[in-house]
């Protein structure tokens, strides 16, 4: 009896030792695989090796499902977080699209952008920030919302604010940030691959997080069409920054022709707002934006956010109340700039 108990204890002992050693072997091999994977995935090179240079923009006639299938090979995480599979990127990029009723352009954008961005070895997520249908569209407010909401999803360090109907056609125009803000749309098709005026900052800009913090983001007061991108230039001037641009041969964008948006008529206040842009920077921006997120849809290849804006509440916020009444001192340079725009028929 005593002998058999002894034997049982002996067997259990051997069993425990065997299980522990196999556990140790498993743990060691797991650690080794992890280390090797970490070592073998190198930081992406400064000059991506797979660029093709100029490439053509094509309209896309398929469905979102087609694109979901097409991009499966890139293994995006839910919400559309894409990473190059061959190396570890240097920064996380959020592409923010202020959006309303542009389904066809959005499909073109989703079809055109990811392959280029992955050739550039960018880690990115596309955020479509859609303002609900009521009221006038406010592009700059949507960019502020996109910035704040993207940061709730992940620690992005680089933000590219992008019109949905502008398509880069040279992949040497790398979608990355530098310490200065970058205006990527340097040569735009609708202006014969030029710009409408030298201080134009519309279309596509890349801001590192630090610049968004320095400029208090963008103004929230431009309801309707025009002026919000001119305002951005004045904000940058206040904090001693200026946009840099890629060479025109790289910063080329295709801009298919389309009619004016119904929900975005000319903003009659835009000239006044642009004139006092500098005086509002500390009151009107990220620190005063008023909005509600009504829905977040994490799609397979992008994130779609639905945003409700209350114009009255926004205009009653601190920045709003100084916007039209501030005793603004306009500099000679500002007047010259506004006059230049005026003389070219922009107002
Ligand atoms: C200027 C607008 C900008 C606009 C640019 C180009 O006049 O917001 O035209 O417009 N400034 C003002 O209205 C103060 S575009 O030809 O792209 O429709 O970006």
Q: What is the pTM of this model?
A: 0.83
Q: Is 274 in the pocket of ligand 1 (CB under 6 A)?
A: yes
User: Cα(227) to centroid of ligand 1, in Å?
Assistant: 6
Which of 183, 227, 232, 273 has most ligand 1 atoms within 8 Å of CB, for mutation? 227
Residue 337 has pLDDT above 70, yes or no: no
10 Å Cβ neighbour count for 300?
16
More confident residue, 6 or 143: 143
Among 11-20, 302-311, 312-321, name the one with the lowest average pLDDT. Answer: 11-20
User: 104 lies in a domain?
Assistant: yes
> Cα–Cα distances in Å, from 37 out to 42, 45, 46, 49, 332?
10, 18, 21, 21, 59
What are the E-state strand segments in the chain? 81-82, 92-99, 123-131, 158-162, 167-168, 182-183, 187-188, 204-208, 252-254, 292-298, 303-308
Q: Is residue 3 in a domain?
A: no
| Number of domains comprising the chain | 1
Reduced to 3 states (helix: H, G, I; strand: E, B; else coil), residue 127 is strand
CATH of the domain at 184: 3.90.550.10
Which of 226, 228, 347 has most ligand 1 atoms within 8 Å of its beta carbon, as the pocket-test mutant?
A: 226
Residue, of 324 and 347, whose pLDDT is higher: 324
Q: What is the pLDDT of residue 320?
A: 77
Average pLDDT along the chain: 88
Q: What is the pLDDT of residue 332?
A: 37
Tell me the percentage of the chain whose pLDDT exceeds 70. Answer: 79
| Distances 338 to 24, 260, 266, 316 between C-alpha atoms, Å | 73, 23, 16, 27
**Hey, whose CA ends up nearest to atom 13 of ligand 1?**
226
Bridge partner list, 305: 129, 296
- Is residue 11, in this structure, part of any structural domain at all? no
Residue 344 CA, chain-centre distance (Å), reads 31
d(CA 220, CA 144): 8
Residue 4 lies in a domain: no
Check whether 257 has a pLDDT greater than 90. Answer: no
**Ligand 1 atom 16: residue of nearest CA:** 196
Average pLDDT over residues 202-209: 98
The predicted structure's pLDDT at residue 214: 97
Confidence category of residue 12, pLDDT binned at 50, 70, 90: low
Residue 2 in any domain: the answer is no
When pLDDT is cut at 50, 70 and 90, the band that residue 128 belongs to is: very high
Q: Which two tokens stand for residue 34?
A: 């992890």
Q: Is 203 in the pocket of ligand 1 (CB under 6 A)?
A: no
The residue that leads in pLDDT, 117 or 324, is 117
Q: How far apart are CA 308 and CA 294, in angstroms?
A: 7
pLDDT in tens, 279-290: 999 999 999 999
pLDDT of residue 322: 53
Q: Is 163 in the pocket of ligand 1 (CB under 6 A)?
A: no
- 40 C-alpha vs ligand 1 centroid, how far in Å? 48
Residue closest by Cα to atom 10 of ligand 1: 226
278 band by pLDDT with thresholds 50, 70 and 90: very high
Look at residue 157 and tell me if it is in a domain. Answer: yes
Please indicate, yes or no, if residue 7 is contained in any of the structural domains. Answer: no
Burial class (CB in 10 A: 0-12, 13-18, 19+), 308: middle
Q: What is the DSSP letter of 28?
A: H
Q: For ligand 1, is residue 117 a contact (CB within 6 Å)?
A: no
What pLDDT was estimated at residue 333?
A: 46
Q: Which two tokens stand for residue 99?
A: 């959006």
Residue 17 lies in a domain: no
Q: Which two tokens stand for residue 257?
A: 């022709």
**Which residues, at least 6 apart from 326, have a Cβ–Cβ distance to it below 8 Å?**
276, 279, 280
> Which domain covers residue 253, as residue numbers?
64-343
* Cβ of 166 below 6 Å from ligand 1: no
Q: Is 277 in the pocket of ligand 1 (CB under 6 A)?
A: no
Which of 121-125, 228-232, 253-257, 328-332 comes out lowest in average pLDDT?
328-332
| 3-state DSSP of 273-285 | HHHCHHHHCCCCC
pLDDT tops 70 at residue 180:
yes
């Amino acid at each position: 009896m005593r002998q058999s108990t002894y034997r049982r204890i002996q067997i259990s002992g051997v069993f425990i030792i065997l299980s522990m050693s196999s556990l140790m072997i498993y743990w060691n091999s797991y650690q080794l695989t992890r280390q090797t994977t970490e070592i073998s995935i190198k930081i992406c090179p400064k000059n991506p090796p797979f660029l093709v240079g100029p490439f053509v923009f094509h309209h896309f006639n398929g469905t979102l499902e087609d694109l979901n299938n097409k991009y499966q090979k890139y293994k995006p995480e839910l919400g559309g977080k894409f990473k190059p599979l061959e190396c570890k990127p240097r920064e996380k990029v959020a592409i923010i699209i202020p959006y309303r009723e542009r389904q066809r352009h959005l499909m073109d954008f989703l079809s055109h952008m990811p392959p280029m961005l992955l050739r550039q070895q960018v880690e990115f997520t596309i955020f479509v920030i859609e303002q609900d249908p009521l009221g006038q569209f406010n592009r700059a407010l949507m960019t502020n919302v996109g910035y704040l909401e993207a940061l709730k999803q992940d620690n992005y360090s680089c933000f590219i604010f992008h019109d949905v109907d502008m398509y880069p056609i040279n992949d040497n125009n790398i979608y990355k940030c530098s310490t200065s803000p970058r205006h990527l749309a340097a040569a735009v098709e609708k202006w014969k691959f030029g710009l409408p005026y030298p201080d134009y900052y519309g279309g596509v800009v890349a801001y590192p997080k630090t610049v968004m913090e320095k400029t208090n983001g963008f103004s929230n007061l431009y309801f309707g069409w025009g002026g919000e991108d001119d305002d951005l230039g004045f904000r940058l001037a206040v904090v001693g920054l200026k946009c840099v641009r890629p060479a025109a041969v790289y910063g080329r964008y295709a801009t298919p022709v389309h009619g004016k948006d119904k929900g975005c008529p000319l903003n009659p206040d835009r000239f006044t707002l642009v004139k006092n842009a500098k005086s509002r920077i500390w009151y009107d921006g990220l620190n005063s934006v008023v909005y509600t997120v009504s829905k977040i849809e994490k799609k397979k290849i992008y994130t779609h956010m639905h945003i409700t804006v209350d114009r009255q509440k926004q205009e009653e916020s601190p920045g709003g109340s100084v916007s039209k009444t501030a005793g603004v001192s306009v500099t000679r340079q500002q007047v010259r700039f506004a006059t230049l725009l005026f003389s070219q028929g922009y107002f």
